[in-house]
Structure 1
Amino acid sequence: DLAKRIGDFSGKFHLHIVDFTEIQLELNDKVPANMLTVIMRRMMMRIADQLAAKRNINCLITGESLGQVASQTVNALMCTNHVAVRPVFRPLIGLDKNETIAIAKNIDTYETSILPYDDCCTVFVAKHPKIHPSFLDCEQAEKDLELDDLVKQGLEKIETIIV
């Protein structure tokens, strides 16, 4: 529903849905709890970047807004960007929560966006996430992971919907 409504404003686009559950479970087992969210975001960015390479897509676009949650601090965003080759555009980066809500209401997506839904960032949320991770923190947190295998696993389980 949200994707279709956004498509009414943006024009036709491809929505790529990755089955991330098995990857999340492995990350949850092997990554320190305080680093889990940023490491999940890095893994998502790796998968998105590889998918973009395969599909000849030149950039990645996210809906992140600076400082809204622990994974959206400047340090966390730098750590996330670090694993992508393509530029990452964040059109909402400077908007605060109220401005984002106003846009959602204006394009009639707000009511759908606030419906209860367990996503990967709410199910596997750390009680005390590291707010200012460094590259070294991330590398240490990922040391026991087979990153290439996890990316490959994510790329094998993608559903693409034309919206």
Structure 2
Amino acid sequence: MTETNGISEAHIKAGVSKLLNQAASTSGRSQVRIASEAQIDRGTMRRILAGKREATVSEALRILYGSGASPHAHLLLYLASDQDKASRWMQTDLALFFEELVRHLPDVLETQLGDHLHGVKPHWAKGTAQRVARLLAEHMDDLARKDTLLGDGFDRAHGGGYA
């Protein structure tokens, strides 16, 4: 069960403010550019990043987007996991992967599970996450092996070979 202090209003406001501030500061973009892309007044943007004004969900998503971060992924990571993970994944391909995974998962679950959709049990989630991660790791290993094989074939075809 989630601790109530982790979902207190003060905790969430401070965490979202910190997340937005980090996104802006690590983006390499000026606050003026981020505010413009987020369609937020510069003064409002400064107050949000300083923690003097809380951002609406829409503003938070737009600031993350304007910062070049994966908006849904980072906000979801913050809400579902923790601030540290959302920060560590900032501006990474892993965040982009997570955003696409979360975006497609509901439709894929409905398609794959069909009539069994409402038979899913919450306690299966961790094992399912582990299995998905294991399948992804195996897929990445397969791709690396294929790249190596293709590279060896390319080398031999162009005069290279084994000594």
The two structures have a TM-score, normalised by structure 1, of 0.23
Greater strand proportion: 1
> Which of the pair has more CA radius of gyration?
2
Greater helix proportion: 2
Pick 1 or 2: higher relative contact order, CA cutoff 8 A, min separation 6.
1
The two structures have a TM-score, normalised by structure 2, of 0.23
